[in-house]
Structure 1
C-alpha cells in the first residue's frame, strides 16, 4: 500500500514508480535476491532507496543500508546484489555479487543497519520482519500516522530514522516528500507553500527553522499548522521545545530510539508531550533504569535480533535477563515518560562527580542568539577531572551577542566548577551520520589545537 512520492519537489508518477520497481524486482531476482539473500544499497540516493524497499518487499530479501560500511566491513552472509542509481538517466543499476558459499541470512531478517561507530567500531544491526512490522503498525499508530498524511522528510533515508519513515510509507500509503539535501531556505519555502501534515528532521534543522520563524509570520503559521513535528537524532534542549510553543503554538515531538530498535521506542505526540522528555513509551516497549549507572535499558518487539555474527558485542549489548543496554543515561517517570541525559561515555567528570553534557548545554542553548550548543570534557589526568570546553553555533551575524550571552548565562546559572573556561564559536558543527554533533571530532580538535574562535 504505497502512496504518492515526491523527490526534491518533483512528483514521481505512479505508473513510472510501478514500472521502475518492477524492473528492479526482476533484475534482483535474476541476481539471486530473495529470503536470506541480501541486497545492498550502495549509494545514498532517495529514489534508489524507495525502489529497493519496494523490490525487496516483493522478494522477501534483506536490505543492507549504508553500503559504504558494508564495503569497508564486509559481510559474513550471502549478498546477491548491490543497487545504485543508474547511469544515463536510468533509475537503478544492479551489480550481481557472485555466490561465494557464505551462509544465508535468517529468513526472518528484514534490514541491516550499521551503527555510526561514534563510540567504537561500527556494527551491523540485524532487524527482523517482526521488528519492522511492530514499527510499521504499533509505532505508527502511536504517532498517528495514516494515509491522509502529507509528510515532509528532509533527510537521508538510509539511517534508522529515514528508513523507518520508508516503512511507514510502505504500510500506510501517505504522500511522502523527500528532500535529499537539507537546505533551510528550501524547507522553509516548502512549508510556506504546502499543506503538509507532518515534518520530520533533526534538532539542528528545527533550531534554524525557529530562528527564521521568529522573523517570518508565514513560516511560523506553517509550522504551527503541522499536526506533527517529529524529531530524533540527539537530545533536544528544553529551550528549543519551549521556543516552538511560544512562536508556533506547539512543541517539537521528540522521540527516542536507536539503530538497534529500528527507530522509536518512545515518542511525544500532540496530546502527550512534556518539555525535557522524549515522550511516553510506545505500547509493547518497556524501559528501566540501572540503579547503579543510570543507564537506560530497553525491551520490546522492536529490538534487534543482535549484531550480525558478533557474539562478543551481543554479550555486551544485552543484560543477563535480556534487556538492551543503550549506553545512554536517563530517568523514567511513573507515567512512562523517558528523559535522556546523554551518552554515558560523554559524561563530564568534574571533582569526582559525573554530569551529563546537557546540564551545561541547556544553559547555553537557552541564550537567544545561540542556535546549538555542545560541551565536551577533555581528560586532564588530574584529580579535578575534565577540562570543560564549550562550542556554540550562533545565529548568523550574532556571534558577539552569542558569546556575551553564553558567558552571562554560565555565570548566572552554573557553579564555578561547571563553567567551561573555553567557548568556541563555530559556523557549524562536525556531524555524525545521524546528524548529531560529532563530539569525538570536537574533542580531537581541542587536543590538536585546531579549534577556531576561542574565547577565555
Structure 2
C-alpha cells in the first residue's frame, strides 16, 4: 500500500509553510538549567536550521548520507533533524540511554558520516562507542567535549537559501528498534510514510495550532517522533521540553499540555503520587459529594499539570481497567493506542468518549487489520508501513506476508464490534511441564501494578507452574534492606500475588514471586532503551535458579544480591 500524500503535507514543505506564514509564533520553550528558559519562534528556529543545513552541505557528503543524533529531547534535536533533511541527507536517531557497544554498532551499520551529541547522562560511558575520526557537533546542552559547538557554527555560517525539497518516496530516517531479542534493526521510513501517518492520526487526535505538548519520551522512539515532531510540522502547535526527571512536575505544570501521551507506568506513578497525599478511600468519598467533586478533580489535575489536557493517551502496554476508571472519574479519560516503529506507531486506538478497557480500539482510517487464522497474530497494512529494514532484505521479506501485510508478532482477538484485544506475543508463549501454554503478557500487566514493582517477568517453561520475577523500584529496594520493612512489604506482595492469581486459570497461576533488587538496566542487557524486558536475558541469568525457587515452597522469595 503506497503512501499517497499531497506534497504540501511533507515535512520540509510544512517547515517552509510555518516559516512564511507564522514567523513570530512561539514554537519551542527550552529549559537551559537553573530555572532559565529560552523560547524560539519559527523565524528564529528556521534561521538556525538553515545555517546548520548549510554547514552540513559544506562537508560534501554524498546525497542521502546518514547523519546520527544522540541526545535527550531538546529544541536542537528537532532543528538538527530538519537541517539533515534540508541538506539532502538521512537522519539516524539513537536512544540517549544506549551502551557504548550498541552506539558503535548502530553508527557503523548505518555508515553514519557525522554525529550530533546533545543532552546526555553518562556521556563518559557512551563516548567509547563513537568511532575514532567520526565528525561530531555538540548541542549547547551537551556535556563538555572538544567538538565544534552548534552556536559557534550557526554564528559563522550563512543560512542555506531557497526551499530545498525531498520527494515523498525518499528515505528520511532510519530508526533502530531496541528489540527484545537480537541486534537493533534499522527501520526505514520515507517522508511520505510519516506524512500519511500523522494525517491519519490527526483524524483521532485533537491537535491544532493552539495545542501544547511536553516532549519528554525519547524522540528516537516512533511515538514521540510521529506525535510531537510530525504533529508539530502538521499543525504548528507549541512544544515544551522537559529539563530532567527531578523537574518533571514543574516542566509539566509549565507546559499545561492539551495533549499528553505516556506509558502506563507513568500514569500509575501519577496515581500513586496522589494517593501519597490523599488516601484512596478518602478521595473516593470526596468524589461522591456533588458540591466537592468538581473542586477535588480540578485540584488534582492542576497539581499534575493536566488541567488543560483535552486528549490523554497511554501506549506500549495495556492500561489496567481500574486505572482507566480512576482517571475517568477525575474527568481525564485515557485513550489506549497501539502501534510499532514499523508502521509509524499508527495502527489502532480507542475512541474518545468510549472507553473499552482491555482493548486497543479500532484501526485508524486507512489502516487494514486482520488476524492470522493459524496463530491469532495481528497483521496490519497501511500507507504508513516502513520501507523495510536497512541492509536486511531477507529479514524484511520475513516481516511481511506474501500479500504485503506486516507481521506484528502480537497475538490478538476481536470483539464483536471490531475492537482489538491484544492477548500476548506469538513467540512469548511457553509451555509448563503439564503441557499447558501460558501467555505471560496479560499476567505481567497486572503484576507490575504493585507500588513497589518497577518491572516484572512471568516465566517458567517446563515448570509445573509459572513464576513471577519482580524488580523493585529504587525506593522499595532501599526499604527492603531493613528487615522490618521487608516483612511488611512481603505481606503486601503476597496479597498482590493472590489478587493476580484469582482470575487466572489454574495452569496460569503463579507459584511464587521472586523479588530482585539488582536493577535491570540497558547497560546490563536486561531491558531495552524503551524499558521492555529482554526475556532471553532473564532466562539466561535466572533459569538455573527456577527449580530451587519452586522447591522453597514460599509465596515470596527474596534475591537481594
Q: Which deviations, in whole Å up to 9, do the C-alpha atoms of 1:51-105 show, x marking residues without a partner?
A: 12221343343211118756314567775433234559433799xxxxxxxxxx9
1:218-297 correspondence to structure 2 within 5 Å: 218-221=299-302, 222-223=305-306, 225-246=308-329, 248-297=330-379
2:221 matched residue in structure 1: 159
Query: For 2:247, what is the secondary structure of its paired residue?
Result: helix
Q: 1:334 to 1:27 in 2, by over 3 A?
A: farther
TM-score (norm 1): 0.84
Find the aligned partners of 1:194 and 1:269 in 2 and give their Cα distance: 25
1:359 matched residue in structure 2: 442
TM-score (norm 2): 0.69
Find the aligned partners of 1:8 and 1:432 in 2 and give their Cα distance: 27
Q: 1:204 to 1:442 in 2, by over 3 A?
A: farther
1:171 matched residue in structure 2: 234
Q: Which moved more, 1:339-348 or 1:1-10?
A: 1-10
- Structure 1 residue 300: deviation in Å? 0.5
- Does the CA-based 8 Å contact 2:411-2:423 persist in structure 1? yes
For residue 12 of structure 1, the aligned residue among 34, 39, 44 is: 39
For residue 436 of structure 1, the aligned residue among 528, 532, 535 is: 532
Q: Which moved more, 1:191-200 or 1:338-347?
A: 191-200
Find the aligned partners of 1:92 and 1:31 in 2 and give their Cα distance: 18
For residue 203 of structure 1, the aligned residue among 257, 261, 264 is: 264
- Structure 1 residue 445: deviation in Å? 4.1
Query: For 1:4, what is the secondary structure of its paired residue?
Result: strand
2:498 matched residue in structure 1: 408
Q: Which moved more, 1:424-433 or 1:233-242?
A: 424-433
Q: 1:366 to 1:413 in 2, by over 3 A?
A: farther
Q: 1:293 to 1:179 in 2, by over 3 A?
A: same
Q: Which structure 2 segments of 5+ residues have no match?
A: 1-14, 19-25, 119-136, 141-148, 154-166, 279-295, 480-487, 522-526, 550-555
Find the aligned partners of 1:439 and 1:75 in 2 and give their Cα distance: 26
Q: 1:208 to 1:135 in 2, by over 3 A?
A: same
Find the aligned partners of 2:73 and 2:314 in 1 and give their Cα distance: 21
- Does the CA-based 8 Å contact 2:116-2:138 persist in structure 1? no
Query: For 1:454, what is the secondary structure of its paired residue?
Result: strand
Find the aligned partners of 2:392 and 2:218 in 1 and give their Cα distance: 27
Given the alignment of the two structures, is residue 346 of structure 1 paired with residue 403 of structure 2, yes or no? no
Find the aligned partners of 1:252 and 1:440 in 2 and give their Cα distance: 32
1:140 matched residue in structure 2: 202
Find the aligned partners of 2:338 and 2:152 in 1 and give their Cα distance: 35
1:78-117 correspondence to structure 2 within 5 Å: 79-85=112-118, 86-87=137-138, 89=140, 90-91=149-150, 108-117=170-179
- Structure 1 residue 313: deviation in Å? 0.3
1:389 matched residue in structure 2: 468
Find the aligned partners of 2:74 and 2:333 in 1 and give their Cα distance: 28
- Does the CA-based 8 Å contact 1:191-1:219 persist in structure 2? no
Find the aligned partners of 2:139 and 2:496 in 1 and give their Cα distance: 52
Query: For 2:114, what is the secondary structure of its paired residue?
Result: strand
Q: Which structure 1 segments of 5+ residues have no match?
A: 95-104
- Does the CA-based 8 Å contact 2:243-2:251 persist in structure 1? no
